[in-house]
Structure 1
Amino acid sequence: MNRARLRYPATIGLLTLIAFGARAVSLDAQPLWRDEVDALRFATVPWAEMLASFTRPGWNGPLYYMLLRGWVALTGTSEYAMRFFSLAFGVLCVPLIYALGRRLFNRQAGFLTALLLTTSPYLTWYGQEVKMYTLLPALALLAIYGLRRAVEEGDWYWWTAQVVATSLACYVHILAALLIPMQVLLYFTWWPQARNRWRGALLSLACLTLPYLPLFDWQAPLLLQERATGFPSYTLGEMVETLLNSWSLGMTGWGWPWGAVLVGSLAAWGLASPPPSLPGPPARTGERRERLALI
């Protein structure tokens, strides 16, 4: 293997170490806050009560708390030990997103996405919190990577990986169900290559929907009910501005539009511009549709 081929793996290894350091350096700088204390409480309730949350309307799945229960039994309940569980999954996202970016586009795209994830204020924040918000993106990345490999190669184990990762994500957080329509959209953006994989795609979709019909029956009544969340309400525009500002400027950027303008301009430029001329195979048909679906 020549130096050029070693450069990107070495760089991703370095980014992974940087991500680890950025999250580990102040992991126990603050005491546990309310949600983290709740996570510990949910992880240590009797098994019968924990398993009952599988069918409790409005609750996230119990998988994260089941895993945290085992982790706490091994490492204890200090701030550093419990938050390290989230840190590990957050750091794992760096090589995962590189692998996905490389598979979908090229090494340069994989490196750029890994760099953005390494320096993301949001993922650094959640990598230091006893919550499921790093396990969830790790599973989502695995699911999309498995789907892409399944469409490319058609092997049953990639379809299995996609179904298992998506299913686990659904039992980590209720909103992971949005992964299913997103994967359907991605499947069609990979047309006509995906055309020959329709049997695997239909079987995958059946595995991802049929077992959850009872859960939908339990959760559906909540869609028609109003209930207090404990948080102030925001308009869609306020949500977008807050998310873009916080993503680009950090939590202190709230209220200032410059981060939203910067990120929005870069996104528009990236979507409108043609793919760059890079060494290697030519760009695939439908690559712009693929970028739109991922955005």
Structure 2
Amino acid sequence: MTSSPRSAPPDDPALPGDPVPLEPHPSPRAAMHPVRAPRAPRARRTAWIAALVGLAAAAVGYAGAGVPSYWGDEAASVMSAERSWPSLVAMLGEVDVVHGLYYALLHIWIDLLGPSEWSTRALSSIAVGLLAAGTVVLGTRWFGARAGLIAGVLCAVLPRTTYLAVEARSYALAAAAAVWLTIAFVALIRRERAGRWRWGLYALGLAAAIVLFLHLALLVFVHAVALAAQRPRPARAVIRGWVAGTALALALTLPFVVLAFTQKDQLGYLALRDWARPEHVLVTQWFVSPGVAVAGWILALTGVVATLAAARRGRVAAPPGLWPVLAWVVLPTAALLLVDVVITKSYSPRYVAFCVPAVVLLVALGVERVALWLALWLAPLLARSDASRRARASSGTDASRRALGSSGADASPSALGSDDPDVSRRALGSDDHDAPPRLAISAGPRSAPLAPARHAVATFVIASLLALFALAAAPEYLAQRTELAKDGGADFRAVAVYVREHARPGDAVVFGLADRRSREPRLALRLYPDAFAGLVDAQLTTPYDALPGLWDEVAPLAAVAHDLDAPTVWAIDATGVPRGGDEQRVTPIDPEVMAEAGYRLAGTEPFARMTVSEYVRVP
């Protein structure tokens, strides 16, 4: 006897990656306001799982966070955050307003914990923990508890995420803000009625997210798709609330957007980087490593295709989060690429890091599907093998012979563990409408003996796939935590350490120039000032915190060389090492100018991207 299809709760112990079965819609009030008692334990369990995954992700991300040297973009963060409040406000009026909120948060953070790499990057590692925890919560609401857990684990080990955790920039905070704002939005649209104050809070949250990271405005399109895909259809009051909240958020951020537009010239460096290429979109953007990208895309496509195929058969509906997740993956990237090609260079793989939750949710769907298929295929073999062993150990009774011949298909229902078809189907890990036709699970209770085997196989496959994914990501994870990991070999700290060990108080230091201010050697002095304590900064004319721009104002060496009177001058130069096909243009310290000032070259120490030369005064 076959029972009619029914909907499983989101965190049913069955594999929940399958679409929700179609059924007559309940009343809107019943759908929007389910009985609270059963939900409370599930909500607590989801909260605990999310918290544990988040803590693990933060710990994994923070491990080795202080090992890599700072690089140019992080120099902008640290130097801006170390300004006084009036200086920071003046700077944001001219440049980098798109990072202003992050700089303000980092200012407070540095006041509390100091400016070391371990300190500043801890903020990003905490944000990665919140990102992974939010992914668990959102995945549970949209696809089920197991999908949410798988996605949270994937988020913790994804190379893009582990990179964000050791980067003193706003991208990790932006990704965390994106997922939690979406969680709040999903909670609102599931209500039959949401007070205006709730939509007002949503508007403030969206506005704050946009100020934190301008590209989070693209979440509006993702939320629009989620609203359209919600079933049962939201009430008109909900739609009006979202429209009003979104309009309010955009109105609040309009002055910020206008100011950011006036500072668009700061993106000029993107013209030197040909980021809009397939390898960056498909690999660098989220997976970083080619091997991880291949595995990730195969699993993601498997999950999407299998879910849509099951829905196409007509007996099930797609999960509520499938379309918004697809929109989240596709629309922000497509929008930035379109602007990049048609208007001006505006795409960078880091700019769509806030799409990480959607990417890992799609990969999680694939992991679930593969686990379900293998469980359906392997579990009967395991059960048959187990029955054979029991038969050989038995006294040769008729019951043993039936078990050997049919894997328990002729056994009595009571011997199989349950007389209730619904209980039996849940124990199998899927209702019969969830399985592919060729692997359909029997509706009757006689299938129950396979349930433990199927659950065991599914759990083993999921754990194995997650372990393999983590192993594939491990080389990139370790590479991200080496001293020269940033920007193709940033070595500011190594140079600072060398100067600290060899220079003496009263010596002078001069710096060569690079084509990009964020790569100039003098950033070693600003990032590691203790190493240069007691040295004369011969070229400095106006310090950066007295200017509305990001960097110091300096004089050319020729203008100050004849004023040098230090016994030793340390000259720090950038080298023209190619990076990503772009030859770095540098202006090194001219030995002839130093000779004319009365100094001779005593030695040179090369580093990855800089050199330190010692000039001593000629007697």
Q: TM-score range by the shorter chain?
A: 0.7 to 0.9
The code of the aligned residue for 2:67 comes to A
Please name the residue that 2:194 is paired with: 155
CA positional deviation for 1:55: 5.2
2:221 to 181, 192, 211: 181
CA positional deviation for 1:227: 3.1
Please name the residue that 2:89 is paired with: 51
CA contact (8 A) 1:59 1:174 kept: no
Please name the residue that 1:172 is paired with: 212
Rounded to whole Å, the distance in 2 between the matches of 1:265 and 1:243 is 16
Please name the residue that 1:89 is paired with: 127
- Bigger mean CA deviation after superposition, 146-155 or 227-236: 227-236
TM-score w.r.t. the length of structure 1 is 0.81
SS at match of 2:212: coil
Rounded to whole Å, the distance in 2 between the matches of 1:9 and 1:134 is 21
Q: Unaligned 5+ residue runs, structure 1?
A: none
Richer in strand (by share): 2
> Is 1:121 aligned to 2:159, yes or no?
yes
> Is 1:140 aligned to 2:178, yes or no?
yes
> Is 1:75 aligned to 2:113, yes or no?
yes
Rounded to whole Å, the distance in 2 between the matches of 1:188 and 1:89 is 30
Rounded to whole Å, the distance in 2 between the matches of 1:139 and 1:28 is 24
Once the two structures are superposed, residues 30-70 of structure 1 have per-residue CA deviations (whole angstroms, 9 ceiling, x without a partner) of 22222222101111223234335665576414111111111
User: Where do residues 166-245 of structure 1 align in structure 2 (5 Å cutoff)?
Assistant: 166-190=206-230, 193-196=233-236, 197-220=238-261, 227-229=268-270, 231-243=272-284
The code of the aligned residue for 2:248 comes to C
Rounded to whole Å, the distance in 2 between the matches of 1:73 and 1:93 is 25
> Is 1:293 aligned to 2:332, yes or no?
no
Assess, with a 3 A threshold, how the Cα gap between structure 1 residues 283 and 57 changes in structure 2: closer, same or farther: farther
Q: Among all aligned residue pairs of Structure 1 and Structure 2, give the percentage whose two residues are the same amino acid.
A: 21
Once the two structures are superposed, residues 111-166 of structure 1 have per-residue CA deviations (whole angstroms, 9 ceiling, x without a partner) of 12111111111111111221111111111112111111110124335434432322
TM-score w.r.t. the length of structure 2 is 0.41
Aligned length: 282
CA contact (8 A) 1:149 1:158 kept: no
Rounded to whole Å, the distance in 1 between the matches of 2:106 and 2:274 is 31
CA contact (8 A) 1:189 1:293 kept: no
SS at match of 1:228: helix
The code of the aligned residue for 2:194 comes to D
Please name the residue that 2:71 is paired with: 33
Please name the residue that 2:522 is paired with: none
Assess, with a 3 A threshold, how the Cα gap between structure 1 residues 221 and 151 changes in structure 2: closer, same or farther: same
CA positional deviation for 1:85: 1.4
CA positional deviation for 1:230: 6.9
Assess, with a 3 A threshold, how the Cα gap between structure 1 residues 273 and 55 changes in structure 2: closer, same or farther: farther
CA contact (8 A) 2:143 2:319 kept: no
Rounded to whole Å, the distance in 2 between the matches of 1:192 and 1:283 is 12
The code of the aligned residue for 1:169 comes to A
CA contact (8 A) 2:138 2:148 kept: yes
CA contact (8 A) 1:271 1:291 kept: no
Rounded to whole Å, the distance in 1 between the matches of 2:155 and 2:232 is 31
Richer in helix (by share): 1
Please name the residue that 2:301 is paired with: 268
CA positional deviation for 1:9: 5.2
Assess, with a 3 A threshold, how the Cα gap between structure 1 residues 40 and 19 changes in structure 2: closer, same or farther: same
CA contact (8 A) 1:180 1:208 kept: no
Rounded to whole Å, the distance in 2 between the matches of 1:40 and 1:97 is 29
CA contact (8 A) 1:86 1:135 kept: yes
CA positional deviation for 1:73: 0.7
SS at match of 2:326: helix
CA positional deviation for 1:199: 1.9
Once the two structures are superposed, residues 199-248 of structure 1 have per-residue CA deviations (whole angstroms, 9 ceiling, x without a partner) of 2112112112122333444445677999333742133423223326x61x
- The structure with the largest alpha-carbon Rg is 2
> Is 1:22 aligned to 2:60, yes or no?
yes
CA contact (8 A) 1:189 1:290 kept: yes
Rounded to whole Å, the distance in 1 between the matches of 2:137 and 2:109 is 27
The code of the aligned residue for 1:229 comes to L
Rounded to whole Å, the distance in 1 between the matches of 2:273 and 2:129 is 31
Rounded to whole Å, the distance in 2 between the matches of 1:189 and 1:55 is 41
CA contact (8 A) 1:86 1:126 kept: yes
1:108 to 128, 146, 171: 146
Rounded to whole Å, the distance in 2 between the matches of 1:20 and 1:232 is 31
